[in-house]
Structure 1
Amino acid sequence: MENIRPIKTEADYDWAIAEITRYFDDEPAVGSPEADRFDVLAALIEAYEAKHYPIEETDPVDAIVAHMEMANLDRAALVRLLGSASRASEILTRKRALTMDMAFKINREWHIPAEVLIHPYHLANDGKETAAG
């Protein structure tokens, strides 16, 4: 077992992943030196991934569309949820921003995380982008 070192390169990253993976099958006892080593490796890996592999924030409209596809829901399902065909269409075409009430309904009924639904996004506005939210 090598000493822990900073993760500066992909080779260092691969090493850290290999080191931490060993703990998945043989979980260390809480409070043990191995558990501390696991925690330090996890923190180093998380920091390296955040810097080199950032995850973009999910766009609310993209999240709704993805959920509809995964759950095999059609546009009519969104119409029923929001109560208006024109409102559902305007949301999906980015001509109208989600209101808090809409976000609440979508969160409650479809279980899309509220933090995704309230994230600011751009509306289509005659070729100009306008922030929503």
Structure 2
Amino acid sequence: MTLTFNQTSYSNLLAEISPKVIETELEYDRALAIAEKLTFDRNKTPEERAIYQLLVMLIEAYETKHYPMPTSTPQEVLLHILEASGIDRSDLVGKLGSSEEVSGIIEGKRAISQAQARVLGDMFKVSPNLFV
């Protein structure tokens, strides 16, 4: 059974929810509450899915502006992955170079080369771009 998009139903949802650019914390909290409710609704109509996607875009725009994520250095990413995986930095010796080279990378004194980034990407099954 294919559900068709009902413009009247969508218009009614738009009028009820009144989505708009989020400018305040109160509007942000309201949009989050509505989006959360829709997130867990397993039987969303096509119109509800469209409203949900719109709310998510508005929420993401607000969060990007008001809660920017700090960027991590390649060394911070490497340290996090090492800690999370339980792998010791000594396990990188030989794969990335000498112990001095690995120490320089870990301490942020030496950049990770493209070749080393590929090795780390393969080793941790992640994009090498995380390390450059």
With the shorter chain as reference, the TM-score category is 0.7 to 0.9
* Alpha-carbon separation, structure 1, partners of 2:40 and 2:34: 12
- Point out the structure with the larger helix share: 2
Structure 1, unaligned runs of 5 or more: 119-133
User: Any idea what SS the aligned residue of 1:4 has?
Assistant: coil
Query: Is residue 63 of structure 1 aligned with residue 63 of structure 2?
Result: no
Aligned-residue CA RMSD (Å): 1.5
Structure 2, unaligned runs of 5 or more: 1-15
TM-score when normalising by structure 2: 0.80
How far does residue 58 in structure 1 lie from its aligned partner after superposition?
1.9
Please list the CA deviations of residues 60-119 of structure 1 after superposition, one character each: whole Å capped at 9, or x if unmatched. 00111111111112121111321311110111122221110000000111134322211x
TM-score when normalising by structure 1: 0.79
**Among candidates 46, 49, 68, match of residue 60 of structure 2:** 46
The percentage of aligned residue pairs carrying the same residue is: 30
- Which residue pairs with 1:15 in the alignment? 30
Query: Is residue 4 of structure 1 aligned with residue 19 of structure 2?
Result: yes
Note if contact 2:117-2:129 (Cα within 8 Å) is conserved in structure 1.
Answer: no
- Off by >6 Å, runs of 4+ in structure 1: none
- Which residue pairs with 2:48 in the alignment? 34
How many pairs align?
A: 116
User: Any idea what SS the aligned residue of 2:17 has?
Assistant: coil
- Point out the structure with the larger strand share: 1
Query: Is residue 101 of structure 1 aligned with residue 115 of structure 2?
Result: yes
